[in-house]
Structure 1
Amino acid sequence: MSGIVKATHRVLQTCVKTANLSGLVSRTQTAVKRDFTRGIWHMSCSRRLDGTLASTSLLHNHSNTCSCGCGLKALHTKGERELVEFLTEEIVAERKAQKVKSLPAEVEGFTVKGDGAEVVLTKQLKDETIRVTFNVNHTVDSDDFEGDVQTEKQEFSEMRSKPQFEVDLVRGDTTLGFTCSYLQDPPAASADEYNDVFGIDEITLYKGEWNDKVYAVAGDVLDGYLYDLLMNLLEEKGISNEFAQKLSDFSTAYEHTAYINLLESISKFTIGK
């Protein structure tokens, strides 16, 4: 497909997502609220609907000893005991549902370095460094699940992480920076069409460290052909549709691991009173 046709196609895609773009100059990630609680405990909410019965059962189980390890000392309150009981089952369920047990050290030729919720992917070329940075906080989204919650067989959409990500092309002390995000429900491409799964939200160029004084322009106001050329540049650097899919796969696994670690930390915090 010629560059002009691809550019026209991308302009149409850009118009669709324009309303969703906000706060681009700050280069920060907008929080996305989870559509529904992820735990199997909450998915089968019969226990939550009968709170009195559940509380009575938990109190009966802990009348003499506490399963969290405090023994006959009864160091924990009712709420703490119930929380630990829930977390114990939730952690087991989440680990069972975990698809990736060990996170890869590389993604599409990029070296992975994680620091809490932030992940940095780096690739060193001959005369430049390509750096992709994203944060997994508030990036999990899912379609509404189908079926009645009370039915025996329930179908839930897979929860995936699709973070906004920064792509920095660094040459010496100069950085060409892109802020990119996944497009909302990109249309299926036919044999003679090419649809992007992500788009450019913002582009900037600066020396040294980025700060609020650096000029940046939103991707949706760029000339269509220029936008197309910039997308081609990213693809040449390895930031393609395939890379974006792999990044989402890794981010989903990384976020799920972080979620399980958080549950375990909350449990330890509650027990270690």
Structure 2
Amino acid sequence: MASVLRQPVLALTSKFLQISPKTVVVPVFKALTAPQIAARGLSQTLTLNRHLWCATSTSSIFNKTTHANKQGKLCSCCSLHTEGDEKLATFLEKEIKDEQRTVQTATTVEGWDVKTDGTGVILTKKFNDEIIKVEFDVNDSVDSEQPIYEEEQAEVPELVSKPQFEVEIEKKSGRKLRFFCQFSSPEPQFADDQGTAPQENIEDQFSIVEVRLGDDVKSGDVDKFYAHSADVMDGTLYDLLMDMLDERGVDDDFINNMVAFATAYEYKLYLKFLEDLKSVISEK
């Protein structure tokens, strides 16, 4: 229900604020900043994020023209608000009520301590003498539960939060091993010429993008440390590093719980965004 309701909101906001839907959500990745991501070639894996859904919406409300003139002056018949502001505030009020009917219940990740700061989330746990930390940011993390292969499908896929994330293993000595990870994109499955259903391939839910080893980076620039990309990594080494993460609790069960928490937390922030947006639009 929620995925259907939230599709037009940001695109609608973009229309009345006269900005591109692509600039509505600014990606923030606290563990690895946007310039660092671009420099290291961490590709975006989101197959369908919210602003793309909004840009392709065919709702009739997007076909209406604004009530301001070309110079952007306020309409003389609307006091302090334009007619567009009034329509947007009314729409947001209804949207908020509809979204509040959807219950998001994931409030923790089993076996991990959870801390949040704005859009950032940090999960920590102990493993023997090590401290395991998983850090991610829910901004620009919304993706469809299932990939869309056709322009028209009977059901709209559910939206979930699948952020890029960093796993840090801190040894007793203070040395740290860092893994930068992203969710894997499922490949489309097609039946063969005889109509036989394709066999399901077992794939990891996430992949390692790069690995970095170094001492505490507080005393220097993180970019001074060598980072080994998975694109050129030996296959056996890659498998053993994935096993290392699995043994420390970064396994399929953890990923499922992390996605559930991230989805609920992102939804909470999204709902607050709608409420704050309505409050700003309704100011006189």
Cα RMSD, aligned residues only: 3.4
- Mapped to 2, the partners of 1:234 and 1:25 lie a distance apart of 25
Query: Identical aligned pairs, as a percentage?
Result: 36
**Is the Cα–Cα contact under 8 Å of residues 145 and 156 in structure 1 kept in the other structure?**
no
Question: Shift of the alpha carbon at 1:29?
Answer: 7.8
Question: Shift of the alpha carbon at 1:43?
Answer: 6.2
- Mapped to 2, the partners of 1:205 and 1:148 lie a distance apart of 46
SS of the equivalent of 2:222 reads coil
5+ residue gaps, structure 2, are 1-35, 68-77, 190-197
Q: Does 1:263 align with 2:268?
A: no
Residue aligning to 2:83 = 78
1:121 to 120, 123, 128: 123
SS of the equivalent of 2:125 reads strand
Residue aligning to 1:197 = 205
**Is the Cα–Cα contact under 8 Å of residues 87 and 267 in structure 1 kept in the other structure?**
yes
Q: Note the alpha carbon deviations across 1:81-128, whole angstroms, 9 max, x for none.
A: 1221111111112222x341x541x31311111111111111123311
Q: Does 1:162 align with 2:162?
A: yes
- Mapped to 2, the partners of 1:170 and 1:24 lie a distance apart of 26
Question: Shift of the alpha carbon at 1:203?
Answer: 0.4
Q: TM-score, normalised by structure 2?
A: 0.67
Q: Which amino acid aligns with 2:80?
A: L
**Is the Cα–Cα contact under 8 Å of residues 125 and 132 in structure 2 kept in the other structure?**
yes
Pair 136,206 (structure 1): closer, same or farther in 2 beyond 3 Å: same
**Is the Cα–Cα contact under 8 Å of residues 146 and 156 in structure 1 kept in the other structure?**
no
SS of the equivalent of 1:129 reads strand
Residue aligning to 2:9 = none
- Mapped to 1, the partners of 2:132 and 2:41 lie a distance apart of 18
- Mapped to 2, the partners of 1:208 and 1:129 lie a distance apart of 14
- The 5 Å alignment of 1:104-143 reads 104=107, 106-142=108-144, 143=147
- The 5 Å alignment of 1:16-55 reads 23=37, 26=40, 30=44, 32=46, 33-34=49-50, 35-37=52-54, 45-49=59-63, 51=64
Q: Which amino acid aligns with 2:168?
A: D
1:232 to 233, 239, 243: 243
Q: Does 1:222 align with 2:222?
A: no
Q: Which amino acid aligns with 1:178?
A: F
Q: Note the alpha carbon deviations across 1:219-244, whole angstroms, 9 max, x for none.
A: 12111111111111100000012211
Residues matched between the structures, number:
222
Q: TM-score, normalised by structure 1?
A: 0.70
Q: Which has the higher contact order (CA 8 A, sep 6+)?
A: 1
Question: Shift of the alpha carbon at 1:24?
Answer: 7.0
